[in-house]
Amino acid sequence: SDYSKEPPRHPCLQINSKEPFNAEPPRSALFRSYVTPVDLFYKRNHGPIPVVDDIERYSVSVSGLVENPKELSMKDIRMLPKYDVTATLQCAGNRRTAMSKTRTVKGVGWDVSAIGNAVWGGAKLADILELVGIPKLSSSTKSGGKHVEFVSVDRCKEENGGPYKASIPLIQATNPEADVLLAYEMNGEGGALPTGKQPLNRDHGYPLRVVVPGVIGARSVKWLDSIDVVAEECQGFFMQKDYKMFPPSVNWDNINWNTRRPQMDFPVQSAICSLEEANAVKLGKVTVSGYAASGGGRGIERVDVSFDGGKTWVEASRYQKTGIPYVSDGESSDKWAWVLFEATGDVQRNTEIVAKAVDSAANVQPENVEDIWNLRGILNTSWHRVQVRVGH
Ligand code: MTE
Ligand code: MO
């Protein structure tokens, strides 16, 4: 693999693996802004960052089980109505390092920052599929469980040198309300051609990536090469042999990958970001901040914070955009985006400060990481704990 053409990166990123490049920002970068700056947004790759330098010749083929297969240029895609969707992207491996402390897991280690919130600009997949003859809201019963597969330009060893790929159900792909995008902008950087700015940077999928809101990051394929409508879900490595949630009893000797579905929606999650894993604090009032997010478009109903290791709880205040009150499932809330929270409590002795969130379906984060341990170390959504030692 050729890692000689990697893009420049922010020096603050904590590098979890150099080749392929996997890195996350410091915790403090997350709660400081509702929209995560592009250079501080986590970067999760399985191979070298591909070079797409001839944008005039770049195109995406849309084919498979469709009436009129098409090759779409960037111009064709930019001609479709443009949508800006604020959506949180989270890697299923977020908080894996903490899970691996109870029992070894396989995978790149991550602290709590394999997550970010961005304003993605691009065309809706539902509009693209309409161009090739697939009507909006094609129900999966009528279409027999069809999927829409995304194939990338990049190459990775898990696919034996083939491209990274993933798929989502056709019912979701053709639903305009699901807001699945082919994004060419991230946080408004880019805009209508021509500008001096680079639309969507190379690390995040230049020139075009899929964004599947509310679903684990692995399905949001970067550097898109083709879209295929297929009869069943994608058979690629990352759908069939990875990113599946197993019970704690399954190990590498008794695993049967076919017994589980590929993970799609991410579960309710939260983390304290204003403190590190272990901290010295002053006796008395302590204020903490962090993020909470849930999958499937479910909002955050509540965030509870404990300043005494989980014995008593206070409810945190929640916000997205300043000046607009956050209401879970409210009209002016961003349904695919995280919620930032803040809570103040009294710390009188050495203890743990703990956060747990509740989503709009009343799902609660599990208390202990042991209970959700799985051999791939995914979906660690256990209560987030930070240790505080009282100084003077
Ligand atoms: N797409 C391609 N082509 N190659 C990849 O390695 N990684 C996936 C997904 N899309 C990946 C990809 C995973 S596991 C995640 S979590 C997100 O991209 C990360 O997106 P980001 O690097 O823009 O944060
Ligand atoms: Mo991921």
pLDDT in tens, 129-146: 999 999 999 876 667 789
Q: 14-259, superfamily in CATH? A: Oxidoreductase, molybdopterin-binding domain (3.90.420.10)
Q: Are 116 and 214 in contact (CB under 8 A)?
A: no
Ligand 1 contacts CB of residue 152 (under 6 A): yes
Q: Which CATH class is domain 269-391?
A: mainly beta
Ligand 1 contacts CB of residue 242 (under 6 A): no
Chain region(s) in the chain for CATH 3.90.420.10: 14-259
70-79, 161-170, 318-327, 370-379: the lowest-pLDDT one = 318-327
Averaged pLDDT for residues 364-375: 98
- For 367, the token pair is 């208390």
Chain region(s) in the chain for CATH 2.60.40.650: 269-391
Please provide the distance, in angstroms rounded to a whole number, between the alpha carbons at the two ends of the chain. Answer: 53
Nearest atom (ligand 1) to Cα of 223: 3
Kindly identify the ligand whose nearest atom is closest to the C-alpha of 202. 1
> How many angstroms separate the CA atoms of 70 and 80, rounded?
15
Burial of 75 per CB tally in 10 Å (0-12, 13-18, 19+): exposed
Ligand 1 contacts CB of residue 45 (under 6 A): yes
pLDDT at position 382 is: 98
**125: pLDDT strictly greater than 70:** yes
Assembly ipTM: 1.00
Which one, of 263, 252, 339, lies nearest residue 298 by Cα?
339
